[in-house]
A and B are shown apart, each in its own frame.
Chain A
Amino acid sequence: MSWLTQTFSSSIGRKFLTALTGFFLIIFLIGHVTGNLLLFKPDEGRAFNEYTAFMTGNLGIMIVRYLLYAAILAHVIITLLLAYHNRKARPVGYKKAAPSPHVSWSSRNMGILGTLVLIFIVIHMSNFWYSLKWGMVPTINYQEGGDIKNLYVVVLDSFSNLWYTALYVVMMVFLSLHLMHGFQSAFQTLGWRHKKYWPIIRNVGFWFSILVPIIFAAMPLYIYFFRNINH
């Protein structure tokens, strides 16, 4: 099996894993953002809570969730390795380096953007996931399903805080920039570049990286301004 370790320790193999895990995270984002849309439903969080209960109770989804944690970890570890190698590849820098025109800022700064996104994920997870799992989340009863956790109030509570709301929104800008390069980059790495599809991939990538973070950011803003429990 040495060919397999060879493959994934090679420069292209590592990139391949980065792209694959990246794709997985992109798909997850679609699921996550769709779930979040339920927060806009004017039913005092019922749909959202039932959705959360379903997401935490279903075995299949649990497996996908652990795959997701693994993907995030793998994405981070592999890219750190790549960044380390890349740094070593140019021990002496240029005195004068003019970034080439037509090279996007986000493509040059994926490391920084990724790190910021990761920090946010950690904060985010400790806020919602941790409290959901081990914290004191009040329960609510909608008759049919018995007592379920009322994550909705945790969300309302979090986004009543101006700083957390602002942090969330700012981080979505970084996520957007990270996706702006990451989306198309993943296709390029997997070799899925073809003159018929490349313009489509770039366009879809562009709109995906704008729309998804906007929808994510809309949720805390909506809650802060319209459903703030301190109001």
Chain B
Amino acid sequence: MNLTLNVWRQKGPADKGGFVTYEMKDINHHMSFLEMMDVLNERLEREGQEPVHFDHDCREGICGSCAMHINGRPHGPSKGTATCQLHMRLFNDGDVITVEPWRAKAFPVVKDLVVDRSAFDRIIQAGGYVSVNTGGVPDANEIPVPKKIADEAFNAATCISCGACVAACKNASAMLFVSAKVSQLALLPQGKVERKNRVEKMVAQMDAEGFGNCTNTQACSVECPKEISQDFIAMMNREYISAKFTSDNL
């Protein structure tokens, strides 16, 4: 099939950037979106032009790096899918496809479609881990976790830190991401020890990074490739307020 691509090109963080239109011919509809971008980049290289920079790693929907805002939606039109898992068969011959980077103050554009998502890393560094000494590796069955809780923690843990929630949110809020990370650890026994500190620090870091704040429009869960639930945002709100009123931190 033939397509018209409007791709955001930006030489660097200081560059103003703008859209460049590329006509794509004979695209195989079995390709993934990234493979289609590869076709474009091979052509650009052959023509001696700078290829379009975009992030990718696993191409299996697990690393969370393939950030692209496609036709007005993070990771494109398909539900519960990362860009690398998006198939060209979802598009029609003759379609015009607009490709933009994530837009958020906390995710500055590095080049073309690549944005700097290290704000997420700093939020994790602020408390999204378990640091208490738990000794040697215990037998899995030594720490009893009810199946229901384990499943819920797992659901939260499926977040791949892709940033689509921020990209989709009208406020560029990172609440879905942070809530998934907070809840995952708050639910499990290993995470309980540092539970209060963790949520206080992670939320403080989230605010410091310049993300917007949740107004419960729920666009994040709709666009999340892992379909992380709004329940976790409610859980984080609960965790945060109760931690603020009961922790030792002044």
Mask for B225-239, Cβ within 8 A of A = 1, else 0? 000001101111111
CB of B125 within 8 A of chain A? no
Q: In the assembly, what is the distance between CA of A55 and CA of B72, in Å?
A: 52
CB of A75 within 8 A of chain B? no
CB of A107 within 8 A of chain B? yes
Contact of B212 with A90 in the complex, beta carbons under 8 Å: yes
Mask for B182-219, Cβ within 8 A of A = 1, else 0? 00000000000000000000011011001111111111
**Residues of B contacting A99 in the complex (Cβ-Cβ under 8 angstroms):** 219
The stretch that binds A, out of B31-39, B55-63, B96-104, B154-162, is: B96-104
**Residues of A contacting B175 in the complex (Cβ-Cβ under 8 angstroms):** 11
Contact of B100 with A94 in the complex, beta carbons under 8 Å: yes
Number of interface residues of B (CB under 8 A): 50
Q: Which positions 60-110 of chain B face chain A at CB distance < 8 Å? A: 69, 71-73, 98, 100, 103-106
| Of the residues B72, B172, B234, contact of A96 by C-beta under 8 Å | B72
The stretch that binds B, out of A28-36, A142-150, A182-190, is: A182-190
CB of A133 within 8 A of chain B? no
**Residues of B contacting A94 in the complex (Cβ-Cβ under 8 angstroms):** 69, 72, 100, 103
Contact of A12 with B210 in the complex, beta carbons under 8 Å: no
CB of B19 within 8 A of chain A? yes
Q: In the assembly, what is the distance between CA of A87 and CA of B219, in Å?
A: 17
CB of A13 within 8 A of chain B? yes
**Residues of B contacting A191 in the complex (Cβ-Cβ under 8 angstroms):** 234-239, 241
Q: Which positions 1-41 of chain A face chain B at CB distance < 8 Å? A: 2-3, 6-7, 10-16
Contact of A91 with B237 in the complex, beta carbons under 8 Å: no
Q: In the assembly, what is the distance between CA of A82 and CA of B233, in Å?
A: 17
Contact of B105 with A89 in the complex, beta carbons under 8 Å: yes
Q: How far is the CB of A109 from chain B (nearest CB, A)?
A: 10
Q: Which positions 33-88 of chain A face chain B at CB distance < 8 Å? A: 82, 85-88
**Residues of B contacting A14 in the complex (Cβ-Cβ under 8 angstroms):** 213
Q: In the assembly, what is the distance between CA of A170 and CA of B50, in Å?
A: 55
Number of interface residues of A (CB under 8 A): 45
Contact of A89 with B250 in the complex, beta carbons under 8 Å: no
Contact of B210 with A107 in the complex, beta carbons under 8 Å: no
Contact of B72 with A90 in the complex, beta carbons under 8 Å: no
**Residues of B contacting A86 in the complex (Cβ-Cβ under 8 angstroms):** 170-173, 212-213, 215
Contact of A90 with B104 in the complex, beta carbons under 8 Å: yes
Contact of A103 with B103 in the complex, beta carbons under 8 Å: no
CB within 8 Å for A188 and B234 given contacts A15-B213, A89-B212, A100-B219:
yes
Residue of B103, B231, B237, B250 with highest tally of chain A CB at under 10 A: B237
**Residues of B contacting A190 in the complex (Cβ-Cβ under 8 angstroms):** 237-238, 241
Closest chain B residue, CB of each to CB of A3? B250
CB of B244 within 8 A of chain A? yes
Q: In the assembly, what is the distance between CA of A188 and CA of B215, in Å?
A: 10
Residue of B104, B212, B222, B231 with highest tally of chain A CB at under 10 A: B212
Q: In the assembly, what is the distance between CA of A101 and CA of B204, in Å?
A: 31
**Residues of B contacting A91 in the complex (Cβ-Cβ under 8 angstroms):** 105
CB of A178 within 8 A of chain B? no
Q: Which positions 155-203 of chain A face chain B at CB distance < 8 Å? A: 181, 184-185, 188-193, 195
Interface residues of B (CB under 8 A from A): 6, 8, 19, 69, 71-73, 98, 100, 103-106, 168, 170-173, 175, 203-204, 206-207, 210-219, 222-223, 230-231, 233-241, 244-245, 249-250
Interface residues of A (CB under 8 A from B): 2-3, 6-7, 10-16, 82, 85-104, 107-108, 110, 181, 184-185, 188-193, 195
- Please list 15 pairs of residues, one from A and one from B, whose beta carbons are closer than 8 Å in the complex, sorted by A's number: A11-B173, A16-B237, A88-B105, A89-B171, A89-B212, A90-B212, A96-B100, A98-B71, A100-B73, A100-B219, A107-B218, A108-B170, A189-B216, A190-B238, A191-B235
Top 10 A-B pairs, shortest CB-CB distance: A191-B238, A98-B72, A89-B212, A193-B234, A86-B171, A11-B213, A86-B212, A89-B172, A191-B237, A90-B172
> Besides the contacts A10-B207, A192-B234, what 5 more A-B pairs have beta carbons closer than 8 Å?
A2-B250, A6-B244, A16-B237, A189-B237, A191-B239
